[in-house]
A and B are shown apart, each in its own frame.
Chain A
Amino acid sequence: MLTIPCPWCGERDVHEFRSGGEAHLKRESRTDNLSDAEWADFLFLRANPKGEHAERWYHVHGCRRWFNAVRNTHTDTILAVYKPGEAKSEVSQ
């Protein structure tokens, strides 16, 4: 993975981006309603798959906008990129 296609700017060197980790994590707005185990799940437990991974990226040295990508973590091939708010792309089943 030498380049990443930013959905706003197009293909750019990987050096311009910052990884934001697993995408689509949902933070409960009333965290005081969560049990310790549920809170630990949100804070610490991650999918960490060997295969398709939905993740966030930040184009820090470019448009400075966030977006999502689906990448195969075994081959580091990016399968899709999509903007925040858009549904996880069709590519990932």
Chain B
Amino acid sequence: MRRYSILALARNALGYHEGWERAWRAPEPKPEYDAIIVGGGGHGLATAYYLAKEHGITNVAVLEKGWLGGGNTGRNTTIVRSNYLWDESAALYEHSLKIWEGLSQELNYNVMFSQRGVMNLAHNLHDLRELKRRAHANRLNGIDCDFLSREQVGEYCPLINLSPDIRHPVLGATLQRRGGVARHDAVAWGFARAADARGVDIIQNCEVTGILREGGRVTGVETSRGTIRAKKIGLVTAGHSSVLAGMAGIRLPVESHPLQALVSEPVKPILDTVVMSNTVHAYVSQSDKGEMVIGAGIDPYVSYSQRGGFNVVQDTLHAIVEMFPMFSRLRMLRQWGGIVDTCPDASPILSKTPIEGLYINCGWGTGGFKATPGSGHVFAHTIARDEPHPLNAPFSLERFTTGRLVDEHGAAAVAH
């Protein structure tokens, strides 16, 4: 891998930018690997990268049915934060946030991580209590979190409508200043390039259609490009997790829902932070291009349509316009949906399975982008050592039988 640098930029400028090498190879699948990762989203690519980097397992393939990041990784609103309530989640998301802080350097790829702050609004007494409780819990876990009064919200983000007589008045907010946004595609591409440089084969347009097993352990996968064998297989397919687990006869406590987002026409910089509201179900930030990036609540029914209903968009925009009356004149440019895998306790599953050599990383639902690097890091450990990293041990499949749920519905920001 030729490193990106200011010198490389200058050198290539002299050659009219015709000399850049491909960011990753496009190899033919080999008949066998030491490990296969199914799903070329951020989590799958990060897993492959850390398998190679931390565990010396480089004979690895990432199999992606479409294109890299074409799932939720390339469809999300890119909010990164770690202000979760319980110790288990706080530790996992904070582990990830720490990696984000050095990720562009580590990958030699600009993921445009911008720590512009993430504000969570309170609109009623219950919200206030809930957010204060979470702020205290965050601080006990060493995670930065400020509580802002209504007036401080106005100082920090003057655009917000602070009128007391709107349907959901703003009464205060938490602010995680280290939170922010990143460039979603760059995260997929950066991990892909860095994994490829360490020998990982990244294979696109390769759909897994079956999981091969012998005597209770995995032996490989059937794909649209033939049979590929491996003794270790990690499933990292987000919205399609139930489909993939079903190929191995495993039922999951996961449901797949559309989650929609939309962007406005680009305007001059006017919003320099991320604003989220659980109660009215809307969140917004401004992209570097100037578009307002707006996220909705999930469509409430199970669906794989990657589309979602218009009424959900309408509800979200009602909320956005009440919070930011001046946005009412913005025209929306694009709208899309991704299929998110929601768990009953709004926490992910990073786990071994009843089948030897088969591992699953799913259930991130509406909020897994922020966890991409940390999730890949601990999941690689789980696959390489055949036992969970201490940070993901609480996020096993068994917790639904033992009852040790990690209920993060309050922190998850999108209700389901």
> Which chain B residues lie closer than 8 Å to A46 at the CB level?
242, 251, 253-255, 302
> Which chain A residues lie closer than 8 Å to B256 at the CB level?
48, 50, 73
* Interface membership of chain A positions 62-93, coded 1 if the CB is closer than 8 angstroms to chain B and 0 otherwise: 00000000010111100000000000000000
The answer for the CA separation of A13 and B251 in the assembled complex, in Å, is: 33
Q: Are B311 and A73 in contact (CB under 8 A)?
A: no
> Which chain B residues lie closer than 8 Å to A36 at the CB level?
401-403
Specify the main secondary structure of chain A where it touches its partner. mixed
> Which chain B residues lie closer than 8 Å to A18 at the CB level?
300
The answer for the CA separation of A53 and B301 in the assembled complex, in Å, is: 11
Q: Given that A73-B304, A75-B305 are contacting pairs, would A50 and B401 also be in contact in the complex, using a CB cutoff of 8 Å?
A: no
Q: Is A25 an interface residue (CB 8 A)?
A: no
The answer for the CA separation of A44 and B402 in the assembled complex, in Å, is: 12
> Which chain B residues lie closer than 8 Å to A1 at the CB level?
309
Shortest distance in angstroms between A8's beta carbon and chain B's nearest beta carbon? 20
* Interface membership of chain B positions 302-328, coded 1 if the CB is closer than 8 angstroms to chain A and 0 otherwise: 111101011100000000000000000
Q: Is B332 an interface residue (CB 8 A)?
A: no
* Interface membership of chain B positions 386-416, coded 1 if the CB is closer than 8 angstroms to chain A and 0 otherwise: 0000000000000011110000000000000
* Interface membership of chain B positions 186-204, coded 1 if the CB is closer than 8 angstroms to chain A and 0 otherwise: 0000000000000000000
Shortest distance in angstroms between A66's beta carbon and chain B's nearest beta carbon? 14
Which residues of chain B from 310 to 351 have a CB within 8 Å of any chain A CB? 310-311, 344
Shortest distance in angstroms between B353's beta carbon and chain A's nearest beta carbon? 14
Q: Are A19 and B253 in contact (CB under 8 A)?
A: no
Q: Given that A15-B311, A40-B400, A44-B253 are contacting pairs, would A55 and B344 also be in contact in the complex, using a CB cutoff of 8 Å?
A: no
Q: Are A44 and B400 in contact (CB under 8 A)?
A: yes
> Which chain B residues lie closer than 8 Å to A48 at the CB level?
242, 252, 254-256, 302
Q: Is B377 an interface residue (CB 8 A)?
A: no
Q: Are B309 and A45 in contact (CB under 8 A)?
A: no
Q: Is A9 an interface residue (CB 8 A)?
A: no
The residue from A13, A15, A53 contacting B302, defined by CB atoms under 8 A apart: A53
Which residues of chain B from 259 to 312 have a CB within 8 Å of any chain A CB? 300-305, 307, 309-311
Specify the main secondary structure of chain B where it touches its partner. loop
Residue of A nearest to B345 (CB): A44
* Interface membership of chain B positions 236-250, coded 1 if the CB is closer than 8 angstroms to chain A and 0 otherwise: 000010110000000
Q: Are B309 and A73 in contact (CB under 8 A)?
A: no
Q: Are A2 and B310 in contact (CB under 8 A)?
A: yes
> Which chain B residues lie closer than 8 Å to A44 at the CB level?
253, 344, 400
Q: Are A50 and B253 in contact (CB under 8 A)?
A: no
The residue from B254, B304, B311, B400 contacting A50, defined by CB atoms under 8 A apart: B304
The answer for the CA separation of A15 and B309 in the assembled complex, in Å, is: 9
> Which chain B residues lie closer than 8 Å to A14 at the CB level?
309, 311
Q: Are A55 and B303 in contact (CB under 8 A)?
A: no
Q: Are B251 and A45 in contact (CB under 8 A)?
A: yes
The answer for the CA separation of A7 and B331 in the assembled complex, in Å, is: 38
> Which chain B residues lie closer than 8 Å to A71 at the CB level?
301
Residue of A nearest to B239 (CB): A50
The answer for the CA separation of A40 and B301 in the assembled complex, in Å, is: 21
Interface centre among A1, A48, A55 (most CB of B within 10 A): A48
On B, residues with C-beta under 8 Å from A are: 240, 242-243, 251-256, 300-305, 307, 309-311, 344, 400-403
- Given A2-B309, A48-B252, A73-B256, 12 more pairs with CB closer than 8 A: A14-B309, A37-B401, A40-B253, A40-B400, A40-B401, A41-B251, A44-B400, A45-B253, A46-B302, A50-B243, A50-B256, A73-B303
Q: 11 A-B Cβ contacts within 8 A?
A: A14-B311, A36-B402, A37-B401, A44-B400, A45-B400, A48-B254, A48-B256, A48-B302, A50-B304, A55-B302, A73-B304
